[in-house]
Amino acid sequence: MKPQMRQPQDANSAFPAPTPPPARPNPTHDAGRDPRYEAEIAAIERDLIAEIERIEREAAARERALIAERDAFRAQLQIAHDTKGWRASVAYWNARQRGLVGALDLGGQLATYLARVGYHLGVPYRLRRDLWYRRHTGASYQRYLRTLSQPRPSAPLDDAANPERVRKAVGPDALIFAARAWDDSDARQRRAARQLAAAGHRCRWLTPLLTLAPAGEIGAVAARDVEAGVGADGAEIVELALPGDGGDVTARPVFRQTALRHALRALRRYCFEHDLREVVCVVQHPGWAPLVEALRAAYGWKVFADLAADLDSEPSDAHVGEALTASDLIIASADSQRDGLARQGLATPAMTIAEGDPPEALSAAVRGLYGRATIIIVTYRNLEKTRLTLKSVLEQTRYPNYEALLVDNGADPDIRAYARAMAERFPATVRCIFNAENLGFAGANNVGLRAAQDSEYVVLLNDDVIVTPGWLGALLRYLADPQIGLVGPVTNAAGNEARIPVDYSDPDGITAFARAYTFAHDGASFDIPVLAMFCLAMRQRTAAELGELDERFRVGMFEDDDYAMRARAAGYRLVCAEDVFVHHFGRSSFSQMSEEAHARLFAANRAVFEQKWGVLWQPHKYREG
């Protein structure tokens, strides 16, 4: 059958062109302007804005180049300062300046170094380990482990932490870039939105009729509820009208640049204010393409091409070549339409949704487009914080394809009972591993890493962290850059530049603070010397390349410094994401240790680190200001 005629597409369009909607009056449109000049006006706007953006990019690139050059020189200088040759030279010249006293001091340092080397070469490891534990804990290694394994009473669970009260977030939100306003659309065009809402996804229907934005300001997004209680969890569909030039997106051959800037800025702010951080874009008309492509470039959101407005027409070769190949999924309105795509050799996956189809089918198709992520949470006698951590992961994570892997290290019966209850409540998402003994932070995480080898991403997450909306997807998007090996968020409690000042005083204020801070730092990140492992994301193949955590760092501390050294030696960047915030209580496990014992453990692990890398460990720095 010969395909129906379609509206001409913009050359930059990557989405299907449906049959144009019936003409309707639009009093806000520039009625007195000859439509023949629309493209010329848009081209002039595009050239001017492109020139401004080019100048801004060049200035930013020069600044980044200068900063990178400065950091490279500093790194080279630090490497020289950390070598044993440099330290020996400094010690020698200091001794020469101090005369006989300096010579005696230098001799003492050399004797200490030789004694340490002799101790490690001459004393077996098992004996050294037992001596270390007796000196720092007053008990032998085996007795210390038995002490740790003795259960201690935990705080009772409050009602909010009851597994039955936890509500897992259902996949990403959906922005429907519609061909018509909600009231003018038919059941076929509403089908995808209703299917997603019925599965629990929050849906926003973007009408193609733009409002008139105030000059020089970020216009407001007008919202109205159009359907409520669609899904089992009361999901609703809300219609949004974006600010712009007062025109109709579907009635013009191009998206005017001024209107695009207004719409993008307003929609970006709306998404942050309403915690729409993990999103799929369902596109019904090619006029939306510039806006959708800008959102995908900024946030990595998935894009679906919805052919609902194409009726039963079969797509042409030109349609396939120009429109559908850039989509992540094609939603067909009939099997004949999907079969027509298959006959033309289109690689993009396509599915048909018909009236009465179960909503889980579309939701499962969404989940299949995301790489599997395993979140490894090592628990140790910390039920109160553990339940807050797991509850926040389940309720705030809309990345659709992940599992939370609990690795218990403390043999606490209350934690194990809670973990089993959560695994029964969410069998597809929560998995548990119970260690027979305390393997330490590194050993327990290694157990999790071995159990996550089938995942594409792994995240190490402490059991004293509260995550915020969009955290997981935002971290994983950084890993699309192959040069980035490890990525972590900013937080309220860390021993380096990842720590930022916060203005909340209790957990109820975490989400509001995260929303405001990440909006103000949208897209911002910086390279960091060490990423603390309270929240660390990486690709599985990167973890396999770098190897497991070094279990010589007893109990904890310095694993992150060691892993950072390995990552940089392999040529990877370590990045701290300013647009991802998590709350970190800090030192939950070490709070059960006395300050004296903590100091001794720190000194011992520091010695292991320095001996392994042949460098003098440098204390971490906080950010300036």
Alpha carbons 527 and 567: distance in angstroms, whole number: 13
306 sits in which H/E element: strand 302-306
- The continuous run of DSSP H or E covering 225 comes out as strand 222-227
Regarding whether 572 and 553 lie in a shared domain, the answer is yes
**CB contact set of 253 (below 8 Å; sequence gap of 6+):** 8, 10, 38, 39
Q: 406 and 355, same structural domain?
A: no
Q: Is residue 562 in a domain?
A: yes
Same domain (yes/no): 195, 68: no
Q: What is the rounded distance in angstroms from the CA atom of residue 438 to the CA atom of residue 440?
A: 6
> Domain ends where: 80, 107, 142?
80
Distances (CA, A) of 253 to 4, 246, 250, 256, 288: 19, 15, 8, 9, 11
pTM summary value = 0.75
Residue 121 within any structural domain of the chain = no
State whether 351 and 305 are in the same domain: yes
Interacting residues of 561 by C-beta distance below 8 A, sequence separation 6+: 530, 609, 617
Q: In a 3-state reduction of DSSP, which class is residue 557? A: coil
Beta bridge partners of 79: none
Do residues 436 and 565 both lie within one domain? Answer: yes
Give the residue from 5, 4, 15 showing the smallest Cα distance to 324: 15
Report the C-alpha gap between 170 and 75 in whole angstroms: 45
Contacts 24+ apart (CB under 8 A), 75-80: 78/618
406 and 361 in a single domain? The answer is no
Q: Strand, helix or coil at 187?
A: helix
Residues forming a β-bridge with 212: 244, 245
pLDDT tens-place string over residues 489-532: 999 988 889 999 999 888 889 999 999 999 999 999 999 999 99
Domain annotation covers residue 224: yes
Q: List, for residues 329-345, the tens digit of each pLDDT value.
A: 888 877 777 777 767 66
CA distance 493 to 464: 11
- Could you tell me if 220 and 244 lie in one domain? yes
3 state SS for 360-383? HHHHHHHHCCCCCEEEEEEECCCH
For the chain, the domain total comes to 3
Non-local (6+) Cβ contacts of 295 within 8 A are: 264, 267, 279, 281, 301
- For residues 331 and 424, state if they share a domain: no
Residue 499: count of CB within 10 angstroms of its CB: 18
**Same domain, residue pair 415 and 546:** yes
Residue 451 burial (10 A CB sphere; 0-12, 13-18, 19+)? middle
CA 542 – CA 568 distance, rounded (Å): 12
Please report whether residue 137 resides in a domain: no
Residue 62, CA distances (Å) to 2, 66, 326 in order: 54, 6, 32
DSSP 426-489: STTTEEEEE-SS--HHHHHHHHHHHHTTTSSEEEEEETTEE--TTHHHHHHHHTTSTTEEEEEE
**583 in the same domain as 461:** yes
pLDDT at residue number 229: 61
Q: In angstroms, what CA-CA distances link 468 with 58, 296, 507?
A: 34, 21, 11
pLDDT at 354: 76
Tally DSSP H helices, then E strands, for the chain. 19, 19
What is the enclosing helix (H) or strand (E) of 568?
A: helix 559-569
Q: For the CA atoms of the chain, what is the radius of gyration?
A: 29
Cβ(463)–Cβ(534) below 8 Å: no
148 within a domain of the structure (yes/no)? no
Domain range for 266 is 179-367
For every residue of 119-159, DSSP letters joined together read HHHHS-HHHHHHHHHHHHHSS-HHHHHHHHHS----PPPPG
Domain check: are 477 and 453 in the same one? yes
Last residue of a domain, one of 367, 400, 433: 367
The reported pLDDT for the residue numbered 314 is 44
One domain, residues 263 and 342: yes
Q: Is residue 8 part of a domain?
A: no
- Residue 96 domain-assigned? no
3 state DSSP class of 223: strand
Alpha-carbon distance 477 to 489, whole Å?
Answer: 13
The last residue of one of the domains, among 25, 54, 80, is: 80
CATH number for the domain that contains residue 203: 3.40.50.2000
32 located within any domain: no
Q: Which residues of the chain have pLDDT under 50?
A: 1-32, 148-157, 311-321, 590-591
140: which residues sit within 8 A by CB, 6+ positions away?
130, 133, 134
Q: Check which CATH number belongs to the domain holding 416 and give it.
A: 3.90.550.10
Which strand (E) or helix (H) includes residue 574?
A: strand 573-584
